[in-house]
Amino acid sequence: MSVKPADSRRLYLQIAEKLRELIAQPDFAPNGRLPPERALAETLGVSRPSVREALVALELEGLVEIRMGSGVYLCASAHAQGDAALSQAELGDSLLDIMGARCVIEGSIAASVAPFCKAKDLKVLREIYNEMQREVEAGRIPVASDRAFHVAIAQMSGNEVLVRTVSSLFDARHSPLSEKLRGHFENETTWGAVPDEHRVILEALEAHDAIQAQATMQRHLKMSLERVLTGGQRTP
């Protein structure tokens, strides 16, 4: 008896393939509009965030179009698409995986550096936080200061491998999949809570509180993910 090998592809790619099969059915998308995310998640037995990632992957392939506030629609050439599926190397890692890794790694870093933070390092971190706050108040998305804040905490560890890891995970936001997701569901409004989340991380580090530093870092990263994958209610 042969055993079918486990599918090693990321979940969003597995879901995207199932959606392609559904899209091929002529009665799946009446008037070209796909069922809502919630219905797709129930049909496939997966979470809405995973469905959202899969839909964005299909959008990058040109199979569907996500119209904010309206829904997800088949592109005119959807049924004519052949082997158009993009690989994980082309799309990038799942944002769920990236942020999960950041929670583990950056939470541990924050806890480990908190008891030993130097005054000069904390001063630099507060200056970065102040710049982030000014940018948000001016209606700008502070990606550069956000990155600088997280990298600065990693630098407090004195471990260059951790610094490179944190930098690399942050920069994964520029992959095609992550950029498309953020382009749809991230904006100046969703960034409004970000300065406060960084402030409590900074205050925990200033208090040399390892437990609070880890908790506030992980809470911030989880909220950041939620804003992109579950916080945006503009698509059905």
CB 150 within 8 A of CB 103: no
Indicate the domain borders of the chain.
11-90, 92-229
pLDDT at position 162:
98
For residue 226, pLDDT beyond 60: yes
**Mean pLDDT confidence for 78-90:** 65
CA atoms of 167 and 184, how far apart (whole Å): 24
Phi, psi of 160 (to 5 degrees): -65, -30
CA atoms of 28 and 32, how far apart (whole Å): 9
Distance linking the first and last C-alpha atoms of the chain: 44
Mean pLDDT of the chain: 88
CB 32 within 8 A of CB 73: yes
**Mean pLDDT confidence for 141-156:** 96
Which H, E and C letters describe 198-220, residue by residue? HHHHHHHHHCCCHHHHHHHHHHH
For residue 108, pLDDT beyond 50: yes
| Angle of the 11-23 helix axis to the 48-61 helix axis, nearest 10 | 70
**Mean pLDDT confidence for 37-46:** 93
Higher pLDDT, 88 or 64: 64
* CATH number of the 92-229 domain: 1.20.120.530
For residue 180, pLDDT beyond 70: yes
CA atoms of 27 and 232, how far apart (whole Å): 28
CB 74 within 8 A of CB 23: yes
Confidence band for 88, pLDDT divided at 50, 70 and 90: confident
Closest CA to 200 of 109, 110, 98, 103: 110
- Kindly state the tokens that stand for 150: 């997280």
Q: Quickly name the fold that domain 11-90 has.
A: Arc Repressor Mutant, subunit A (1.10.10)
User: Residue 47: helix, strand or coil by DSSP?
Assistant: coil
pLDDT at position 79:
53
CA atoms of 206 and 209, how far apart (whole Å): 8
CA atoms of 95 and 175, how far apart (whole Å): 10
How many CB atoms are closer than 10 A to CB 208?
14
Closest CA to 162 of 219, 105, 231: 105
pLDDT tens string 186-221: 777 778 889 999 999 999 999 999 999 999 999 999
CA atoms of 107 and 212, how far apart (whole Å): 10
Cα Dmax for the chain: 65
CA atoms of 50 and 48, how far apart (whole Å): 5
Residue type, 117: C
